[in-house]
Every structure is written in structure tokens, then in C-alpha cells.
Amino acid sequence: MDTPSGNKALRNRTVASREKAQVATIKADPKPKKMKVETKPKKIKVEATTKKIKVETKPKKTISDVKTSRDDPTELETDKTGNTFPLEMEIVADMPKRKNNVSVTAGAKGQQEAAVDLFNSFLRNTNQSWHGVKETWKKMKIAENNGDERPKPDVYDVLEEFVKFMYNYNAPKARNSIGCLSSQTADNYLSQAKATFIQNLGDLDATRCKTIRASMKKIFVEREVQVGIYKKQAPCMTVQDMEVLGKMLHAQGGFEDIEFASLLVMSWHMLGRAIDSTWLQRSQIQLMSESDLFVTFARLKTASLQAHAAVRRRGLERGPIT
């Protein structure tokens, strides 16, 4: 039987064992508690650094700096007829390069880049910029749409100034006695400048452009004749000369395709199309069903491919070269 004294002793032992268990638990737990307290500040610091990085405003400044009228269509200028013209927010100093299709040869691209570089030299020498040319074109178009007189200077005045610059330009790679641009090279450069105007700005008056080109060729050819810059060079061949030479070679007979290609390259080079002939490949030479020899050239002015019949392999008595 349990006695009161025995029950009391049992209770005392139970209380004592519980207290010992609590003390043991308290002694075993301090390390996890301390680790939790130490890790919390570390997490807070890591989050704070990531927040600071996200708050940076540099990307916003960059976007606003390069903002143009194309990004904000509300910034437009309207004329009396309702046509709108963008107000440029970014000043561009140089003329942009031409955008070509995949059919343009490497030689044509090189000629285009040379023309753009020369036009940019003209802009720098005359204290102008491509941005200013675009503003001049915009004012001219607004005046035309409103029926007003064109403001001066207009883009055609810019092209005329470019012609004068080319006339007085000292070309380091020129193959003549006075180191000037030839009439063919100047004509190519003017055509490239006009094509870049049309591609980046808009249509131009074809009649006015033809007048500028005709006056340019006149002054360049007159100088070539007066100075005699080609005295030490072979004379240029005409199409008729090329036809006669082709007939003479065909009279011998037995020529292979590669010899006809060589003749064609030489003749075309002497005709002033060196930029085309230096990039001529065998794949551009084709013999048609009627025995006509065709060659495909990349035209500089239109940036497109055109096929031309050069010489006939047989039956030359049927007619001239087409």
C-alpha cells in the first residue's frame, strides 16, 4: 500500500526529474537560437544590396537621350494640306550609308561607300550636317505642298555645291596628270548621293536633277579636253569599236568562253565601267540559245541586276551588237 510519505517522496522525485529535463533542454538549445539571431542580419543585408541595384535610373536616362520623333509620334509638324513631318530630336552629322538588297555586288557597295564618304567630307568642309540637309528638305516639301515658293537654299542647291566640291577635289588615287576626279567617277558619286537622298528623305524633282547632272558633265568633260589629262592613257572605246573588235576575233574562230569573258572585261573596263568589270565572275557570263553572249552587271545607279548582250558567237552579219 502507498503511504502518504511514500507518495510525497514520489512527487518530489517527479518534479525533480522534470526540472532536470527542462535544464537539459535549455542547455542544449542556445546554439540554434544564437545561429538564428546571427543569420537574420545577413539576410537583411543581402536584400538591401539587391534593392539598391534595382533602383538605378541610368537606363531611363539613356533612352531619353536617344529619343527621336519616331519614338514619340505626337511631336509632328503639320502643313496646310495636312501632311506631317517629324521634328528631329537627334542631330546626325554624317550621311547614312545606303541600304542595299542582296543582289548588289561587293564592287557596287564599295562605290557607294566611297560616294558617301566623299559627301560627308563635303558636309564637313562646308560646315554643314546631314541633319541640316534633312531640315532643308523638310522646309522645301512644306513649301511645295502649301503652294509657296521654295526656300533658299534647297536640296538642289546642296547637290550643286557638291558638284563644285567634286570639281575642285584633289583625288589621291586619280589616274590622271592633275589628280582630279574623272567625269565618270563624278557622275557615279552624284548618282549615289541622289539615290541616298531619295532613300532617306523622299522623291526629288527628276528634271532638276537631270539639269544638275548635265551641267556637271559639261564642266568635267571640258576640263578633260582642255587640260588633256588622258594624253598618256589609251583612248576610250566606243560601243562601235567594241563591235568591230568582236567581229575581228570571231573571224579567227575557235575561241573558248574564257577568252570571250576576258575580251568583255577589257572592253567594259575601257568603256569606263571599271567598278563593274573588276568584279565580273564566270557565273555572270551566259550563252543563250541563239548563240548570243550575255553578261549580267550590277548597275550602280539602280542597285539592280541587268543583262546585256555583248557579242555574237556566230552570225555576226545579222546585225550590230544589241
Instruction: Report domain extents, the chain.
Output: 4-54, 91-227, 239-318
Phi-psi region of 202 (alpha: psi -120 to 50; beta: other; left: phi over 0): left
CA 220, 226, 227, 230 torsion-angle sign: positive
pLDDT-derived band at 70, boundaries 50, 70, 90 = very low
For residue 137, pLDDT beyond 50: yes
Bigger pLDDT: 84 vs 138? 138
According to DSSP, residue 73 is labeled: T
Mean pLDDT on 95-103: 62
Residues 131 and 92: beta-carbon distance below 8 Å: yes
Q: CA nearest 157: which of 209, 221, 114? A: 209
**H/E segment holding residue 31:** helix 30-54
> What mean pLDDT is reported for the chain?
65
Mean pLDDT on 83-107: 55
**Integer angstrom CA distances of residue 264 from 135, 186, 251, 306:** 46, 24, 17, 15
Which pLDDT belongs to residue 171?
84
Using DSSP, state whether 85 is helix, strand or coil: strand
pLDDT, one tens digit per residue, over 250-293 is 665 555 555 565 666 565 555 554 444 444 455 555 555 554 55
> What is the chain's length?
322
For residue 99, pLDDT beyond 70: no
Q: How far apart are CA 239 and CA 290, in angstroms?
A: 21
For residue 26, pLDDT beyond 70: no
The full DSSP string for 223-271 is HHHHHTTTTTSPPPPPHHHHHHHHHHHHHH----HHHHHHHHHHHHHHT
Stretch among 17-21, 183-187, 318-322 having the lowest mean pLDDT:
318-322
